Amino acid sequence: MSMNVQPDLEFIRAMKEAGGDTLKKCYQCATCSVACPLSSDGNPFPRREMILAQWGQKDKLITDPNVYLCHQCGDCTEICPRGARPGEVLGAIRAYAYKALSWPTALADLCSSAKNLPLLIGIPAAVIFVFWLISGGMHIPSTEKFANVGYGHFFGHWDFRWLSKNVLFIDIIFLSAVAIAVISLYKGVTKLWSGMVATLDNKDVAYRPSVVQFVKLFLWPALVEIVKHNRFKECTVNTDRVKGHLPLVLGFIGLFIVTIYSAFTQDVIGIFIPSMHGPISMWNPIKLLANVSAIAMIVGIGILWMNRTKMEAEGRASNTFYDWFFIWVIMAVGVTGMLAQVLRLIGIPSLGYISYYLHLVSVLMLFLYLPYTKFAHIIYRTFAMAFERYRESSFVRNPLND
């Protein structure tokens, strides 16, 4: 019996560009599956995925939950006798999947290539510049005013107590970017989940969990496991990655809390207490959390930067735009944010405003490009880990048959 396989050549080219250039070296010895804790007798991971990638079967790969469960520990790559680097190949599959699952396709295509880097920086830079220009706030304040209001008048000021002008412009810019990202991720996760469900042996599920049950039984435990970094700690070859990844994740969690607090005080409490629109005191616990989180984020991404450089120098990883763009953007967010704060404290408004402008640009890049870059793995991997629990639960498996 013969089988006609029609490989997707565009997919294979994309794989090579994203770090999967060693794919053709694989000759199916299954050594990688021996090393991988995700592998089982009925699920030879990542050998199966390497075969599908060689055949160009992208539709099966982008909804394969194991692709997202892989933490790229490097164990399979280290022992591969042919130097096929399965971990890098799986990273390349994820890079392609984020592009294929996302919306709108124009933004996804833009984020897929280094040649588009001028546009990737230029679009957010132009957006911030144009809004800064039309806001009437494009001027450097005096040192005294800068000390009092900080960057609170970056987009200008008015006496309307219900909403400051600066907050209005920031909301317009960043909530729009967040809306695009949320819609894109919702569409992508929906496609991913449907595809993962299609891989189940038992497709006739008697009843499905409610939203509350799903969050309690599957999503929340996955989030807890991610924060604890349990699987990263199981790595042997790339065990140092946890030293960078953990402070990075904790830093993002801290900054998320700070962002929610700032939005609530500025947009809600600020309606009744206009003074809340000013800079947060350096001794405010939330400000302390912000600074500690920012430092943790910079330290974490710095460690990952050094690890990536070392791996590339040793020939254990490929130099890819997919990996480096993620590192560059996060480092830019952290460094420009801290620099803007230091310049405010020492009273240099001209350099402070430039740093704050660059900070806004880098934050907008982070939000706007989230669904299409490596940063998206925090969403897709979370739902893949939730699905991992779901497929082993009594919702899918009949315990009487086990």
Predicted confidence (pLDDT) per residue in 54-72, tens digit = 888 888 999 999 999 988 8
Q: Is the pLDDT of residue 331 over 80?
A: yes
What is the greatest pairwise CA distance in the chain?
Answer: 82
Q: What is the mean pLDDT of the chain?
A: 88
Residue 400 domain-assigned (yes or no): no
Domain boundary among 101, 128, 159: 101
Q: What is the dihedral of CA 186, 188, 191, 195, to 10 degrees?
A: -130
Range of the domain at 13: 9-101
Are both 92 and 110 inside the same structural domain? no
Are both 92 and 167 inside the same structural domain? no
Number of folded domains that form the chain:
2
Segment 335-356 mean pLDDT: 96
For residues 390 and 202, the answer to whether their CB atoms sit within 8 Å is: no
Are both 80 and 133 inside the same structural domain? no
- Residue 2's pLDDT is 52
Are both 56 and 204 inside the same structural domain? no
Give the relative orientation of helices 349-368 and 117-135 as an angle to the nearest 10 degrees. Answer: 120
State both tokens at 353: 């405003």
Residue 396 domain-assigned (yes or no): no
Residue 1 domain-assigned (yes or no): no
For the ranges 8-17, 248-257, 296-305, the lowest mean pLDDT is seen at: 8-17
Q: Is the pLDDT of residue 255 over 80?
A: yes
Closest CA to 63 of 189, 161, 207: 189
Between CA 334 and CA 255 the distance in angstroms is 11
Predicted confidence (pLDDT) per residue in 165-197, tens digit = 998 999 999 999 999 999 999 999 999 999 999
Q: Within a 10 A sphere around the Cβ of 104, how many other Cβ atoms?
A: 14
State both tokens at 262: 């700032």
Q: Is the pLDDT of residue 50 over 50?
A: yes
- Residue 6's pLDDT is 61
Residue 401 domain-assigned (yes or no): no
- Residue 173's pLDDT is 97
Counting residues of the chain whose pLDDT is more than 70, the rounded percentage is 95
Residue 398 domain-assigned (yes or no): no
- Residue 273's pLDDT is 74
Reduced 3-state DSSP string for 167-182: HHHHHHHHHHHHHHHH
Domain boundary among 101, 117, 149: 101
Are both 359 and 291 inside the same structural domain? yes
> In which element (H, E) is residue 307 found?
helix 285-313
